[in-house]
Chains A and B, each alone.
Chain A
Amino acid sequence: MKLNQIVDLIKGQIHTCTDKMDIVIKSACGADLMSDVMAFSKENTMLLTGLVNPQVIRTAEMMDIQAVVFVRGKKPSSEMCELAEEKGIVLLSTDLTMFTACGVLYKAGILGKGRECE
């Protein structure tokens, strides 16, 4: 699904990389703990999170995540937007809660790929 469709579905706001709305997202992960994103996320190119700090952008970079959605009405700071622009990562925000945002996207066909607990 293209990012612009995702923005419509979650009634999102675009904060960076407005030229990248054609990126196709197939799978995503939702987490407030970046440690878990690092340890469990697999091949996901979108992250939904309620955590707002620069390490979210860095974690996204390391994990090849192309778009980050901040849930519950949280907005990235200008420092974060700068870092994300530099790294070419799309930042979005939505007023939806984590559960609802994930649910809406899952229902629309976005999958979740993760390493199972051992």
Chain B
Amino acid sequence: MSSIIKKEYDIPANDFSLAGEASSNVRKLLTQLGVNPTIIKRTSIAMYEAELNVVIHGNGGKARVEIFEDKIEIFVFDEGPGIEDIELAMKEGYSTAPDSIREMGFGAGMGLSNIKRNSDKFVLESEPNKGTRVYITIYLY
């Protein structure tokens, strides 16, 4: 089935105040489409966490979002340093975020598990020096 809406967003590096713009935009789209609020919230949380990771850890990247009749697919990727041990990165509480990020209220190491919890399908691909790719699927029904 072809998608109803297809969008691509730049996620700029080093501009923490802009992190969340893409997620906010997707949120507006879903609201306009009349999507169920619980699903909008799950999508927002998952995408915002993925977006934050690209800003904080990935040196900036992109998000591609496709909305289908029955699902939302979000692909967030960067060409940053990548993740050496994915299993460890997924653990709640594990974080390599610097203190400066913690002072901003983030870096508690809850992000990846939070994305997983809020998605119906979640795939994380990463290798050192080969960037990070996060695939999120959320069903609309």
Q: Which residues of A contact B (CB under 8 A)?
A: 32-36, 38-39, 49, 51, 53-56, 58-59, 61-64, 79, 87, 118
Contacts and interface: CB of A to CB of B under 8 A. Distances in A.
Given A55-B20, A56-B105, A35 B41 contact: no
Nearest to A36: B108
B27 A62 contact: yes
A62 B51 CA distance: 12
Scoring A55, A56, A64 by chain B CB atoms within 10 A of each residue's CB, the highest score goes to: A55
B110 A61 contact: no
B137 interface: no
B contact face: mostly helix, strand, loop, or mixed: helix
Given A36-B108, A63-B44, 17 more contacts: A33-B108, A35-B109, A35-B111, A39-B92, A39-B108, A39-B114, A49-B105, A53-B104, A53-B105, A54-B17, A59-B48, A61-B20, A61-B24, A62-B23, A62-B41, A62-B45, A79-B17
B74 interface: no
Nearest to A86: B24
B47 to A, nearest CB: 8
B49 interface: yes
Contacts of B111: 35, 38
B49 A38 contact: yes
A55 B106 contact: yes
A38 B17 contact: no
B83 interface: no
Interface of B: 16-17, 19-20, 23-24, 27, 37, 41, 44-45, 48-49, 92, 104-111, 113-114
Contacts of B20: 55, 58-59, 61-62
Contacts of B106: 33-35, 55
A61 B17 contact: no
B37 A38 contact: no
Q: Which 5 A-B pairs have the closest CB atoms?
A: A35-B108, A58-B20, A34-B105, A39-B110, A62-B44
